[in-house]
Amino acid sequence: MDKQFFVDNLHQKFHIRNVDKNGLGTLYVIYSLGDFRIKLSLRIKIYVEQWNKRLNRAYISEVLTPLDNMNNNIVNQKILRQQNVFERLKLYLCENPESIKCIEFVLKKFFYNDMKVSKKLPPVLQMRRYVRESNNLKESSKERYNEGINVFEDYLMTNNIKLNVFEDLDYNVFVNYIDYLFNRRTLAGTTLAINTIRDRINQLRIILRGCEYLNDKILHYKLPKKKGDNVQVYLDENEIRRIYDLNLSGKEERVRDVFVLQCWTGQRYSDMCNFRRESLKIEDSGIRIKLIQSKTGKLVEIPVFNELAINILKKYNFQIDFLEKSSSLATQVLKIIAKKAKIVDVILKNVQRKGGNVIERKYKYEMIGTHTARRSYITNMLKKGYTKEDLVKITGHSNGSSFDVYDKQTSHDVTEKILSKESNKATSTTNNADNMIREVVELAQKNVLLTQENKQIEQEYVDIKRKLDIITFDSICEELAMEIPSENDFIGKTTDGEWITDEEVKKQRKEKKKI
């Protein structure tokens, strides 16, 4: 062989071809090595809309029919078998490098299962296979476990350690790996944080346990103590708007749109690929989306009310199928986007490293990742006054303690919320008092007017009544052909209450004397 060959340069991926008008296509496996490329049919069909490009898996979901789930499960089993074949192929090439000259022949022989590898896979390959095939690890976590295996493999290569069987990974190799982690440098030139080292050790132990390598000393190794601040940031509504308003294109635009949508739905990055057009419901009350969360398997219903989220859904015709395969790659792009949006607040972070606790100054955009969106949703919704009990049902958290980690409200945020509420109460009370005073004044004014009107009406009534009495008396006198007396002629009243004249009084007196 004149050229170098590295087995990791041999790639396998799956692709759907020969799609009919109903969206049903045939699944192919594609092998590539440099300029060499070959595609082979798996002789199995799947609907394009039920294929997860990022995970190379068919969807299994409550949204689909039982028949679709059954067919997709068969597809996933076929893919899993094919991935095992690929691992055997790579091991065969490592042991038989001369066969690389006839790579196409070897590929086809392995594809049709004509060749066997008798030896067991090396420990590192078994560890990778466990992570890939394990049902105990969440899909969203497998990427981090693979990163941990990469770090462990770097340690083995740096120290020229070869593991042929798991027994070669003894306690001394494990302890030296921990020393390697303490001395390992990041891209910024700093040593790893204690929390990162704890995570790497835990990942390795979980993988070893999954591969059924039970070394008591390794499994019961006491982890370094956690110290320092667990500082995690969130974005307020103004900062999210600034990211949304950026003029971006290509990968940056897609990553930005998914992130903003996460900020107003509260879902994980891994859940975004489960957004299906048929899961969307538009009703008079608003837009809602139903999806099954990748990590928990919970069916959640999400209200979509924010203008930015609705605009993004419309932009992509309510179909989110533009995700980057790796959330870590998306995180790198997000940091660039946040820097462009001038999210440059300085954050002080107390970090424990090899030499002790260190106060680090970081710009806020450096601490932003895909999961920042989930923290932002929860914190902003709490600031709006929504309760923890309601939000848990949307975010899918299994308990309140895991939810509380996402609450990033500061004492300043809580103070602002309390003062705003009390101010509204005071304003409301003042308004009520003003309204009451205004009503009393108006009522008093109405009563004064009514009193004046009543007095005027009463006076008019008296005048009218008096005039009516005079008119009535005049008419009686005319009927009796009597002379209408003047007021001076009335000097008294009879027992019947009638007015009598002076002449009548004299006449009555004479009659009494005669008697």
Instruction: Report d(CA 246, CA 249) in Å as an integer.
Output: 10
Nearest by Cα to 296 from 270, 263, 330: 270
Kind of pairing, strands 24-33 and 11-17? antiparallel
Instruction: Assess contact for 374 and 302: CB atoms under 8 A.
Output: no
3 state SS for 267-331:
CCHHHHHHCCHHHEEEECCEEEEEEECCCCCCEEEEEECCHHHHHHHHHCCCCCCCCCCCHHHHH
Residue 243: predicted pLDDT: 93
- Give the separation between CA 279 and CA 272, rounded to whole angstroms: 12
Query: Do the Cβ atoms of 224 and 194 come closer than 8 Å?
Result: yes
Copy the structure tokens of residue 287: 């837009």
pLDDT at res. 122: 82
Mapping DSSP to helix (H, G, I), strand (E, B) and coil, where does residue 17 land?
Answer: strand
Residues 86-96 as b/e (b if ≥16 CB within 10 A, e otherwise) read: bbbbbbbbeee
Residue 356 CB neighbours (<10 A): 8
Cα 38 from Cα 86, distance rounded (Å): 14
Give Cα separations from 49 to 41, 268, 314, 425 (angstroms).
19, 21, 19, 52
pLDDT of residue 336: 93
**With a cut of 70, which residues of the chain have pLDDT below it?**
1-2, 113-120, 140, 214, 224-230, 273-278, 320-326, 350-358, 398-402, 404, 410-412, 417, 421-437, 439-455, 457-506, 508-510, 512-515
d(CA 232, CA 345): 13
Q: Which of 260, 259, 264, 301 is nearest to 280 (CA)?
A: 301
Yes or no: say if 156 and 162 are a contact pair by the CB < 8 Å rule: yes
Q: pLDDT of 138-171, one tens digit each?
A: 776 888 898 899 999 899 988 888 888 888 888 8
The whole-number pLDDT of residue 245 equals 93
Q: CA dihedral in degrees (39, 43, 48, 54; nearest 10)?
A: -60
CB 240 within 8 A of CB 379: no
Q: What Cα–Cα distance (Å) separates residue 276 from each residue in 64, 316, 327, 330, 373?
A: 11, 12, 20, 21, 20
User: Cα–Cα distance between 410 and 407 in angstroms, integer?
Assistant: 9
CATH topology of domain 237-409: hpI Integrase; Chain A (1.10.443)
Tell me how far CA of residue 376 lies from CA of 106, 287, 351, 477, in angstroms.
Answer: 51, 20, 23, 101
Q: Residue 196 and residue 67: Cα distance in Å, rounded?
A: 44
pLDDT score recorded for residue 91: 83
